Amino acid sequence: MFERLRDALRAALDAATPAGDLRDLARQMREAVIEAKVAVQELRDALGRTERELQAERQRLVDAERRGRLAAEIQDQETADVAQRFATKHGERVRVLERKLAAQRDEVALAERELAEMQAQLGRAERDRPVTEAERSAERAWRDLQQAGGVRPGVDPSDAGLKDDLDRATREAAAERQLREIKKRMKKE
C-alpha cells in the first residue's frame, strides 16, 4: 500500500537535483506523509469496526449456544437443532473475524512503521537539504538586521503572530494528548 509512497521518498532522497527541485521534492514528500497518515487512520478505523463486529458475533454465538441448551433442557429438539445451526454459523464467522482482525492488526503495525520511516526521511530531507545562495544571503541580512536592533518576524517571542502560533501549537498538543488518553481508556473498557 505504501510502497509507491516509499519509492517516491527514496527517489527524492537519492536524486541529485538542484535546490529548487529539492523544495518541490520536499513538498511532495510532505504530501505523501499526509496521505500515509490518512491511510493509517483509515486502517485503524477499519480495525475498530472489525473489533466491534467480532464482539457482536461472539455475543450472537453465546446467545445461540444458550438457546440450544435451553431448548435441549425442555426437550424441544427442533429448536435445539436450529440453535445448533446458528451456533455453527456464528462460530465460523467468529473464526473468520478473528483471522481478519489479526491480519488488520499486522497491517496497521506495518503501516505505522512505514509512516514513521517516511516521517524520519522527510525530516532528514528537510534538515539536510542544501541551502541556496539566496537563502544564505537572506539569513545574513536578517542577522545583520537583528544585530542592529531590528526584529525578525516569526522568531521574536513578543511577536503577536508567533505567540498565536505557539499558543495554538500548545493547545493542539494538549488536545492530542487528551485524545490519546481517551482512546487508551476506551480500549481498556
Instruction: State residue 122's pLDDT score.
Output: 80
Judge if 138 and 125 occupy the same domain.
no
Show pLDDT as tens, one digit a residue, over the chain (189 residues).
556 656 665 666 655 445 556 667 777 888 888 888 898 999 999 999 999 999 999 999 999 999 999 999 999 899 999 999 999 999 999 999 999 999 999 999 999 999 898 888 888 776 766 566 666 677 677 677 777 776 666 555 455 554 566 677 777 777 888 888 888 777 776
Domain-ending residue, one of 112, 130, 148: 130
Judge if 126 and 176 occupy the same domain.
no
Quote the domain boundaries for residue 183.
133-189
Number of domains comprising the chain: 2
Domain-ending residue, one of 99, 114, 130: 130
Separation between Cα atoms, residue 45 and residue 107, nearest integer Å: 12
When computed from its CA atoms, the radius of gyration of the chain, rounded to whole angstroms, is 28
Judge if 66 and 96 occupy the same domain.
yes
Q: What is the DSSP string of 84-142?
A: HHHHHHHHHHHHHHHHHHHHHHHHHHHHHHHHHHHHHHHHHHHHHSPPPHHHHHHHHHH
Instruction: State residue 148's pLDDT score.
Output: 75
